[in-house]
Amino acid sequence: MNQRTSRAAVGLLSLLAISPIAAQQSSPPQQSPDSFVWLEDVEGQRSMEWVNAHNAATIAALTRSPLYQSFYARIKQILDSKDKIANPEIIGNSLYNFWQDAEHERGIWRRTTWASFATANPTWETVIDLDSLSKAEGVTWSWGGADCFEPEYRRCIVALSRGGSDAAETREFDLNTRTFVSNGFKIPEAKTSTAWVDDGTLFVGTDFGPGTVTTSGYPRIVRLWKRGTPLASAITVFEAPADHVGAFSVSVDAGDRRYLRIIDAINFYESAQYLYDKGNVVKIDVLKDADLYLVGDQMIVYVRDPWTLGGKTWPTGSLVAMSFADFMAGKRDLQLVMQPRPRETINTISSTRDYLVINVLNNVRGELRRYRHQGGVWTFEKVPAPDLGTVGVVARSPRSNRYFLTFTNFIQPTTLYATAENGSVSEIKRLPAMFDAKGLVVEQMDATSQDGTRIPFFVVHRERMAHDGSNPTLLGAYGGFEISNTPYYSSHTGAVWLERGGVFVLANIRGGGEFGPAWHRAGLKEHRQRIYDDFTAVAQELIKQGITSPQHLGIRGGSNGGLLMGVALTQHPELYNAVLIQNPLLDMKRYSHLLAGASWMAEYGDPDKPEEWGYISRYSPYQNLKSATKYPTVMFTTTTRDDRVHPAHARKMAAKMESMNVPFYYFENTEGGHGAGVTNAQVAKEYALSYVYLWQQLGVPNDVKADR
């Protein structure tokens, strides 16, 4: 419950002349948006021949730079560093952590004691070694997480993913013997959802065969599976319609009690909530777009749409609560826990045995507040933590009031703190500086979007930065799914961008959650152009202020942020000289038919409906490439094993640009899922290629040197 779980339970100049992939001069411009539909065959021979050829061209071109090897080595060293913070997970009386370094490429799941963790050099016990397991089984496994049955915390359901994909093989594991349970629960590779009902029973949602997954590719049926019986004999307890996102189960450990919930994810933002109680599935009558938490005997609800009941209306963004048993019995005497002020929002909610720990954003700056229900009223205190950055809970337990939190910002290394039962906070570990931040400053500025809305953004730059438009500047944003972009310490951005004189900008455009539900909803469906106008306004403000100029302005974004980059490219190619598009959505005509795409129609709209394709078509990057337009040289990155956002989006956009004689770079990692790679070496390679590209496009001769 660290996040709002009721949704579909579900980021130089080259010293050599480097040329992007040469366009095929003999190929005529392609007219049909489906001319490259064959690239949707993920691992087909023709598709992979295309991928391998373009990978080889990009690698050959970008690795010729003398900067590549230094970038790769620096980033790999950072990723492999044993000085990284080992963020813990509290399981029973032990602390667990998943760790990767040079000796453990695929990683180890390990554990230690509370006392040992508090020392400078904790003693860790390996629980699962993925490198050894991969070698023994001949499968390139990556870690998918573990769900352990409480309060015994002996048996866990472990997810193992091939190459980092969302689909995973699920196995039962014994924490005492550190072995997989012989003849225990085991589910073949699929996008599976499980929850412990008791020590011998699971809720399972998976691909049981034809008709058992939704159009989004997630399970639509929840079954009750008894230990020792075939999976096929599991009893169905709930079914969601095939056009919903999926049906998911959750076991909520609320300290002195457990709740079993079933969630029917109608779309990405609306869910029907159910309680499984003594064999009965009972609906929890809250609004479909509300977030629901069960803590102790209290039901906590985050309100998105105004909620009128019991003679009172609770406004958008408020957090309300009451006895869960009383609510299920028909009472409606809700109490206010928190109502955010203007420019404030509730970002995340966590819980301990006696407290709600709420991460509040105040003009995109984080703070923690601890709320307690006592004597029939809710009271709170601010958790001691640094200011002007991002603070959040990283580990908690419903069986104590101890939890871990981190603080970070753009130039201050991440620090891990532990909170004791009495609420006192102590520093446990501070990440050593991974780059030289001396002389760097952070500003928060505003741009004015086309409709007059103020759009905040952060700028990280050197003191006494010249406002002459010459600064290589990298601008990033996301703008979707109510996800907030907050300050963070990026070791690789610091080491190979900021250290070398680059400027970094993070924009808080609409579509995110920085200012609550209304900020997100302002960019939904037919209003999505507002998001793209916000991003353009920030770019124009950077140019207006003389921080940079189109020649030296680059942009970077992934997933939905990759879509944002594609729109920026096609709507305002004159503003940018580098566009790094990572794991993107780009073909918005086909997106809802590719992998998990159907689950995002509440965000973008349904392209199969003419009235909705009407507004989607105006920004869809794949359909809006124009043969007579001068575009900056683009770089696409994706992975073959991304089973969330189909790699065909990047493939098809690149192929269409190639047919139009538009230069670009393309790199597709064969592993990595919806990310850059599984091993540190894979991630370092993609990052190094990307930063060489950025410096090549944006660097200033005689101003950015290899030894800077």
Lay out the sheet containing 280-284: strands in order across. 246-253, 258-265, 271-277, 280-284
Report how far residue 42's alpha carbon sits from residue 528's, in angstroms, rounded to the nearest whole number.
29
Report how far residue 537's alpha carbon sits from residue 447's, in angstroms, rounded to the nearest whole number.
6
Element (H, E) at 656: helix 648-659
Give the HSE-up count for residue 594: Cα atoms under 13 Å, Cβ half-sphere: 25
CA dihedral 602, 604, 609, 610 (to 10 degrees): 150
Integer angstrom CA distances of residue 658 from 47, 560, 652, 665, 667: 15, 23, 10, 10, 14
CA–chain centroid gap for 235, Å, is: 34
| 312 contacts: CB under 8 Å, gap ≥ 6 | 334
The question of whether 70 is a catalytic residue gets the answer no
Which of 397, 461, 674, 690 is the catalytic position?
674
Take residue 531 and report the two structure tokens written for it.
């998001």
| 253 contacts: CB under 8 Å, gap ≥ 6 | 150, 151, 398, 399
Whether 694 contacts 580, CB under 8 Å? yes
Whether 172 contacts 155, CB under 8 Å? yes
CA dihedral 602, 608, 612, 613 (to 10 degrees): 120
DSSP labels for 287-319? -TT-EEEEETTEEEEE-SS-EEETTEEEPTT-E
Instruction: Supply angle C-alpha 238, 239, 240, rounded to 5.
Output: 130
CA–chain centroid gap for 148, Å, is: 23
Q: Which residue has the tokens 């419903």?
A: 398
> Which amino acid is located at 548 in the chain?
T
DSSP count for the chain of H helices, then E strands = 13, 39
Beta strand ranges found along 436-545 (DSSP E): 440-448, 454-462, 473-476, 503-507
Whether 449 contacts 534, CB under 8 Å? yes
Whether 68 contacts 18, CB under 8 Å? no
Give the HSE-up count for residue 96: Cα atoms under 13 Å, Cβ half-sphere: 21
Which of 142, 559, 592, 620 is the catalytic position?
559
Other C-beta atoms lying within 10 Å of the C-beta of residue 565: 27
Looking at residue 166, the DSSP 8-state letter turns out to be S
Lay out the sheet containing 235-239: strands in order across. 193-198, 201-205, 221-226, 235-239
> Which amino acid is located at 517 in the chain?
P
Prior bond of 210 cis (ω within 30°): no
Other C-beta atoms lying within 10 Å of the C-beta of residue 275: 17
Report how far residue 581's alpha carbon sits from residue 634's, in angstroms, rounded to the nearest whole number.
8
Report how far residue 416's alpha carbon sits from residue 257's, in angstroms, rounded to the nearest whole number.
30
> Which amino acid is located at 402 in the chain?
R
The question of whether 54 is a catalytic residue gets the answer no
Element (H, E) at 75: helix 66-80
Looking at residue 199, the DSSP 8-state letter turns out to be T
Report how far residue 68's alpha carbon sits from residue 74's, in angstroms, rounded to the nearest whole number.
10
Report how far residue 373's alpha carbon sits from residue 664's, in angstroms, rounded to the nearest whole number.
57
Q: Residue 273 pairs with which residues in a beta bridge?
A: 263, 284
Take residue 254 and report the two structure tokens written for it.
């609320």
Report how far residue 574's alpha carbon sits from residue 588's, in angstroms, rounded to the nearest whole number.
23
- Annotated catalytic residues are 559, 674
